[in-house]
A and B are shown apart, each in its own frame.
Chain A
Amino acid sequence: MKELLEILEELHPEVAFEEETALVDDGILDSLDIVSLIGEIKRVFDVTVTAGDIIPENFNTVQAMMDLITRLEDED
């Protein structure tokens, strides 16, 4: 979780990520952010996120992103 928060804070130092519940739907994370984020997730956690998993439900909260990463790690 700490590593993920670091990645996110690098993108948007002004956002209190753990309090947000609609990061994608509110437009806080835009397409540029998602591209960077998926690249960083690949680098740090060594998991590949593909289109089927790039849906708002998996990126609207930090917890949802963490759950996605954990699931992808388990599938490996």
Chain B
Amino acid sequence: MNKRHVLDDLKKTAARLPEKTAFSDGTHGLTFAELDAWCDRVGSFLSSEGIVRQPVVVFMQKSPEEVAAFFGVIRGGCYYVPVDEEMPEGRIRLILRQVQSPLVICDEETKERAREIVAAESLSSRVVCFSEFQTQEIFSETLEDIRAAALDTDPVYIVFTSGSTGIPKGVVACHRSVIDYVEQLSEVLGFDENTVFGNQSPLYFDACLKELYPTIIYGATTYLIPRTAFAMPTVLVEYLNTHRINTICWVVSALTMISAFNTFDVVKPKYLHTIAFGSEVFPVRQFNLWKEALPDATFTNLYGPTETSGRCCYYRADRLCAEDEVIPIGRPFLNREIILLKEDNTRALPGEEGEICIRGNAVTFGYYGDAERTAAAFVQNPLHDLYPETIYRTGDIGRFDADGNLCFVSRKDYQIKHMGHRVELGEIEVNVDLLETVKMSACVYDAEKKKIVLTYVGDVTEKELLLTLKGKLPRYMLPNVLRRTEALPLTPNGKIDRKTLLAAYREGKS
């Protein structure tokens, strides 16, 4: 029988491998039996409170318990909304305001902040510490009823991404999409019971689906690597070796952090055989350093937006690359089609450029509580009007190369990829322009130096402005360079002239 629910395998895996570690932070872990028991407790708590088919915010430190909270929310027939202590307060407030969750699950570290935010927003959400579920009675029959009533089109999670209006967008994904993605990805990357994952992605991104779900399906183990390890390349490689980690799915910047400082001269990963990367272009020189250091490992480029449940295309990078080569996006996983649409909504011919659009059950439901922005990106397939068929327009421009591999060309708008994250430059500008001390601002991206450059007119120093923005924007959205000026250059039409701004920055002029 086909799977209909993302937790279908957890009970089976817990019965088969009760004592095996499922998730660990390196010093503390949860076995499959413990994980399963926590899920039952959280699920039972939700049902006893009458919380069913609703969003439940999980605001915890990255830990095995946070994963247990996610799965527990699903077992209770609800869907989780991850929020993180790394997020600035302004963003957390916007998310909590949008989802109006009846419950916020926190831990001892985040409790105070969660309570303050709920009070400041006058929300009716209850704030409960995960540890309080320890004594929760388990209502097995109720949980079975909830499971039996669940559909594979019910939501699993809401994950928030950057939005150009300054309000983040909450992508809603269902069981069917997640199950299909995890199956295809596991097949391509060869996950099994012996897989030991080293997780890098924060748990509030869909990137962590790659480790979370295969772990419970196959009875694998995931180490949630502490964020601080990523600042020190040799510490990081030694962490991989200590825990015999053999599989990593990381953003490119985490991989180049290791290769760029000649780390392989000092220490090499000993067990690593499967490396997946994505979210940005892998500089060829760095990729080749990895390939030379680990000639027997497989390297796979992954591509796909949050709106289509995890990643949707892959390319097996199985040889050293030439200096001028760009690693392709590749081909879609089974059960997905990439349609390249030209400006006139017809298919791009081989070699022609077009907007990358995605078709199939990987396409998520859209943005939570936001019909307008959903309708702008999730549209009827323009190639026919015979029946309703929603495709997702990514806003990425691509083309197929001679081998039929999809290649990334550019973006349609002001969205960029910075340190592996999607960033709408407009969202940064909106936050800056809201400040009373700023009259005007514009953001540009220097793709070569990988710097977000903010130029502004106002009565505030660069240092003060940066401090203010730290309370409003996530770390990866903070401008790397702030430039105060007397006036912004304008085009003949009166729009801000971004090309001139970028050129001025590159030439070192103000």
The verdict on B466 contacting chain A, using a C-beta distance below 8 Å, is yes
- Residues of B near A33 (CB, < 8 A) are 231
Query: How many Å from the CB of A55 to the closest CB on chain B?
Result: 6
Interface residue total, chain A, C-beta cutoff 8 A: 24
Contact of A34 among B227, B231, B262 (CB under 8 A): B231
A14 and B478 CA atoms in complex are apart in Å by: 14
- Check A51–B233 contact: CB distance below 8 A: yes
A18 and B419 CA atoms in complex are apart in Å by: 28
- Check B230–A31 contact: CB distance below 8 A: yes
Query: How many Å from the CB of A23 to the closest CB on chain B?
Result: 9
- Residues of A near B262 (CB, < 8 A) are 50-51
- Check A55–B232 contact: CB distance below 8 A: yes
- Residues of A near B230 (CB, < 8 A) are 30-31
The verdict on B254 contacting chain A, using a C-beta distance below 8 Å, is yes
Given A34-B232, A51-B234, A55-B234, CB of A13 within 8 Å of CB of B467: yes
Query: How many Å from the CB of B285 to the closest CB on chain A?
Result: 15
Residue of A nearest to B461 (CB): A13
Query: How many Å from the CB of A7 to the closest CB on chain B?
Result: 13
Contact of B231 among A9, A14, A31, A51 (CB under 8 A): A31
A27 and B229 CA atoms in complex are apart in Å by: 9
- Check A25–B228 contact: CB distance below 8 A: yes
Residue of A nearest to B229 (CB): A31
- Check A31–B470 contact: CB distance below 8 A: no
Given A49-B261, A50-B261, A51-B262, CB of A32 within 8 Å of CB of B419: yes
Report A40-61 residues with CB < 8 Å from chain B CB.
49-52, 54-56, 59
- Residues of A near B235 (CB, < 8 A) are 55-56
- Residues of A near B228 (CB, < 8 A) are 24-27, 30
- Check B254–A31 contact: CB distance below 8 A: yes
Q: Mark A1-35, 1 if CB is under 8 A from B, else 0.
A: 00000000100011000000000111101111111
Residue of A nearest to B482 (CB): A10
- Check A54–B233 contact: CB distance below 8 A: yes
- Check B463–A13 contact: CB distance below 8 A: yes
A30 and B475 CA atoms in complex are apart in Å by: 10
Query: How many Å from the CB of B1 to the closest CB on chain A?
Result: 44
Contact of A14 among B263, B266, B470, B476 (CB under 8 A): B470
- Residues of A near B260 (CB, < 8 A) are 35
- Check A38–B254 contact: CB distance below 8 A: no
- Check A38–B261 contact: CB distance below 8 A: yes
Query: How many Å from the CB of B466 to the closest CB on chain A?
Result: 6
- Check B263–A51 contact: CB distance below 8 A: yes
The verdict on B257 contacting chain A, using a C-beta distance below 8 Å, is yes
A43 and B302 CA atoms in complex are apart in Å by: 34
- Residues of A near B253 (CB, < 8 A) are 31-32
The verdict on B385 contacting chain A, using a C-beta distance below 8 Å, is no
The verdict on B265 contacting chain A, using a C-beta distance below 8 Å, is yes
Q: Mark B330-363, 1 if CB is under 8 A from A, else 0.
A: 0000000000000000000000000000000000
Report B209-264 residues with CB < 8 Å from chain A CB.
227-228, 230-235, 253-254, 257-258, 260-263
Contact of A13 among B254, B257, B266, B466 (CB under 8 A): B466
- Residues of A near B231 (CB, < 8 A) are 24, 27, 29-31, 33-34, 59
Contact of B261 among A13, A25, A51 (CB under 8 A): A51
Query: How many Å from the CB of B366 to the closest CB on chain A?
Result: 32
Residue of A nearest to B465 (CB): A13
Query: How many Å from the CB of B252 to the closest CB on chain A?
Result: 12
Report B293-311 residues with CB < 8 Å from chain A CB.
none
Query: How many Å from the CB of A14 to the closest CB on chain B?
Result: 6
A27 and B231 CA atoms in complex are apart in Å by: 9
Query: How many Å from the CB of B234 to the closest CB on chain A?
Result: 5
A66 and B171 CA atoms in complex are apart in Å by: 46
- Check B232–A54 contact: CB distance below 8 A: yes
- Check A30–B227 contact: CB distance below 8 A: yes
- Residues of B near A49 (CB, < 8 A) are 261
Query: How many Å from the CB of A52 to the closest CB on chain B?
Result: 5
A44 and B319 CA atoms in complex are apart in Å by: 38
A38 and B263 CA atoms in complex are apart in Å by: 14
Closest 4 CB pairs of A and B: A51-B263, A51-B261, A31-B230, A13-B463
